[in-house]
Structure 1
Amino acid sequence: MTDMGGDQIEEAVAGCAALLRAAAGRDWDGVRAGRLEWSCRRTAEHIASDLIAYAGQLAGRAGTAYVPFDITVDEGTGDGGVVDVIGTTGALLAAAVRTTPREVRAFHPYPFRSANREGFAAMGVAEVLLHTHDIAEGLGLAYEPPAELCARVLTTIFPHVRPEPDAPWSTLLWATGRGDLPGREPLTEWRWNNNLVIDTERLTLQGVTPAAAADLHAGGTGGFEWIEGGPFGGTRDAAGMIVSAYEQGVHRPEWGMFVLVRREDGQAVGGMGFHGAPDEEGRAEVGYDLAENARGRGYATEALQALSEQALSRDDVKVLFAAIDRDNAPSQRVIARAGFTRVSEDLEQVAYELHGVDGSLRLYARES
């Protein structure tokens, strides 16, 4: 798996610079950038401002707010000079992404108050691609970035958006209110979506993006450093469910899959998550597994307690379910320690008859 990183930032910036240099000398100040209220000149300066801001967040390890600084372009700077500033700030963000450890997160408000290096890289690339499009539209120029670059942005920070087959650029434009797609209503409001991370004493539960899920399902690492023997088969199967949900446009990141990463060494020890968003009655199902070498240390219990508390604190969740094989005594002990109790035999029978639940499984529940 190739993470969204410095190479992608440089690729996006190079494409932006090539287009803007070809348009140097045109009326950047007097022309609006596409659907924006800004001029093309102001939009170009904004690209540089975003890139340096993201670099500052990562380099400064900002934890609770934006680092309070901005960038200005010297008075009298020509169009070519603005392009130079974009190139320089892009190089700084690429360097910050490359030198930031994977586990580091820095403040960004949407939607879970933080992002890792891959998230900042994807946001930086998105800013470059989209605002280059805005400028090109204002100046009447043709612009279409590489499809793979657009697809990586979508799978990293737009996991809630159903991809359009063979049209990632059109999908990205639609997802940001800049274009139309057949059969979809235009968007007037949008946000990208960095992955959710839940902290426990010894672990971080890190939300898995569709890009990481696809790699895990295909036999890769998903960008994680796994303990020997990991990931277990159930984690790869669950990753496949995430990919399927993403392709159907029904994936909701906070109801997806999390990889359990040890704080002490940054190694991934297992997977945990939901089988989908809660139903109309506020019910959601959880599942989990650990690499064999990580079992017997309480990791699953610790993670399940944190994940359950996170879910049950929401108004739209009333009960969590788990289906455990009758012969899997260790997993039954985990689910019990995490506050789940076995449902009555009558309810279990209804689940078997009406919902097709495998009769070899025992059902456990935890209510809000």
Structure 2
Amino acid sequence: MGGEQVQQAVEHSLAVLRTAVDGDWEGVKAGRLEWSCRETAEHVASDLIAYAGQLAGRATTTWVPFEIDMAECERNADVLHVIETTGALLTAVVRTTPREVRAFHPYPFRWADREGFAAMAVAEVLLHTHDIAEGVGLPSSSHVPPVALCESVLARLFPHVRPGDAPWATLLWATGRGDLPGRAPVTEWRWSNPLHIDAGRIVLQGVHPAAAADLAEGGTGGFEWIAGGPVEGTRIGAGLVFQAYEAGVHRPEWGMFVLVRKEDGLAVGALGYHGAPDEEGRVEVGYDLVEGARGRGYMTEALGALAGWARERSRERGDVRSLFAVVDKANSPSQGVVSRAGFEKVSEDWGDGEHGEQFAYELRLRV
């Protein structure tokens, strides 16, 4: 998801809305919104320039304090020209922003990277184009966006939503704009950019379903890896993430993270949960490192940071009580990792057979 997708979404919007440019946009509401069609179009332009400003200005704690004034846009065509211009600005900013840059966005984790801002922009453009088209009475078949854009938005911003066979209908349903057979109406919704967790020399970058699918199929997941990566365990874990997404049971904050080294932006391994906490509040973790990154303490830092995030989550919501890990008896380096992270051995014989081949460890976050 990048500048090309932003440009494609804006071009789709312009092509649709120019067919109704001579209509009354101020006198009718946009779809189910309280805004008029004119206000909604201005909102699209405002979002595009705001996202460009956040990325270009590297804002980290709040919105960059500026906005555009469209008081002199007398005609609907003038507003569309502003959308075209702000779309071009965001496209350029996304293309030139380094991958590791993050900027402030209030939901859900107080930041987004260039891919996140691109995805949010595409969503805003597609959805509000639909709202305006509905408000001015265009037939629904006239403003169906490209399938690939809808799939990308769903996989990146709605990882908790089962995708289904109709991406556009699913996106409309997920944002309270339509109905889907067998699914309850949506009255409140939020999108979800991947969680990033700082861990000293590395950053744990959450893997969204689109990246997970690419990793599982032999790709890089959009990351630059050190030689030898990603390893097979990472690909297997990514496949499980995507399967959970397709089944509608994926919970992104309890998913998979790629370990990215700060000094050079290269991925060195992966770490993650095997799913959301069970009824007892226990969640299992697993991890692996590319061979060339082993023995340097990266995973100790990463697991410690992940445990810290889970402990904070336990204080705030109480849905997780302990972390659980199993380690092969022959894997002494991995045993050292969990021990240094504060895990305690709870079983000497975990696994199948009379004498299990693994040790089991647990880290209690609260009693």
- Which category describes the TM-score, using the shorter chain as reference length? over 0.9
Q: Which amino acid aligns with 2:163?
A: P
**What residue in structure 2 maps to residue 30 of structure 1?**
27
**What residue in structure 2 maps to residue 159 of structure 1?**
159
CA distance in 1 between partners of 2:355 and 2:55 (Å): 47
Q: Which amino acid aligns with 1:117?
A: R
CA distance in 2 between partners of 1:286 and 1:214 (Å): 20
CA distance in 1 between partners of 2:209 and 2:81 (Å): 34
**What residue in structure 2 maps to residue 362 of structure 1?**
359
CA distance in 2 between partners of 1:246 and 1:320 (Å): 22
The answer on 1:191 being equivalent to 2:190 is yes
Provide the secondary structure at the position in 2 that maps to 1:72.
coil
**What residue in structure 2 maps to residue 238 of structure 1?**
237
2:134 to 101, 124, 137: 137
**What residue in structure 2 maps to residue 17 of structure 1?**
14
Do the aligned partners of 2:73 and 2:79 also contact (CA within 8 Å) in 1? no
Provide the secondary structure at the position in 2 that maps to 1:226.
coil
The answer on 1:208 being equivalent to 2:207 is yes
* Deviation of the 1:319 alpha carbon: 1.1
**What residue in structure 1 maps to residue 340 of structure 2?**
337
* Deviation of the 1:234 alpha carbon: 0.5
CA distance in 2 between partners of 1:179 and 1:328 (Å): 52
**What residue in structure 1 maps to residue 329 of structure 2?**
326
Map Cα deviations across residues 234-273 of structure 1 (whole Å, 9 max, x no partner): 0010000100010011111110000000010000000000
CA distance in 2 between partners of 1:16 and 1:271 (Å): 38
Q: Which amino acid aligns with 1:63?
A: T
Provide the secondary structure at the position in 2 that maps to 1:225.
coil
**What residue in structure 1 maps to residue 222 of structure 2?**
223
Q: Which amino acid aligns with 2:175?
A: T
CA distance in 2 between partners of 1:140 and 1:19 (Å): 12
Provide the secondary structure at the position in 2 that maps to 1:297.
coil
CA distance in 2 between partners of 1:76 and 1:134 (Å): 20
- Compare 218-227 and 63-72 and name the one that shifted more: 63-72
**What residue in structure 1 maps to residue 107 of structure 2?**
110
CA distance in 1 between partners of 2:73 and 2:198 (Å): 49
**What residue in structure 2 maps to residue 70 of structure 1?**
67
Provide the secondary structure at the position in 2 that maps to 1:198.
strand
Q: Which amino acid aligns with 2:356?
A: G
* Deviation of the 1:122 alpha carbon: 0.2
**What residue in structure 2 maps to residue 54 of structure 1?**
51
Equivalent pairs, count: 358
Q: Which amino acid aligns with 1:129?
A: L
Do the aligned partners of 2:163 and 2:246 also contact (CA within 8 Å) in 1? yes
**TM-score when normalising by structure 2:** 0.95
CA distance in 1 between partners of 2:53 and 2:86 (Å): 10
Provide the secondary structure at the position in 1 that maps to 2:288.
strand
* Deviation of the 1:329 alpha carbon: 1.3
Question: In the superposition, relative to structure 1, how do residues 295 and 32 fare at CA in structure 2: closer, same or farther (>3 Å)?
Answer: same
CA distance in 2 between partners of 1:127 and 1:212 (Å): 22
Map Cα deviations across residues 159-189 of structure 1 (whole Å, 9 max, x no partner): 1111012x00011001100011111111111
Provide the secondary structure at the position in 1 that maps to 2:271.
strand
CA distance in 1 between partners of 2:72 and 2:235 (Å): 55
Q: Which amino acid aligns with 1:101?
A: P
Q: Percent identity?
A: 67
- Note the residue ranges of structure 2 that are not aligned, 5 or more in a row: none
The answer on 1:121 being equivalent to 2:118 is yes
- Compare 357-366 and 260-269 and name the one that shifted more: 357-366
Map Cα deviations across residues 321-349 of structure 1 (whole Å, 9 max, x no partner): 1011111111111111111111045xx56
- Note the residue ranges of structure 1 that are not aligned, 5 or more in a row: none
* Deviation of the 1:362 alpha carbon: 1.4
**What residue in structure 2 maps to residue 303 of structure 1?**
302
* Deviation of the 1:352 alpha carbon: 5.7
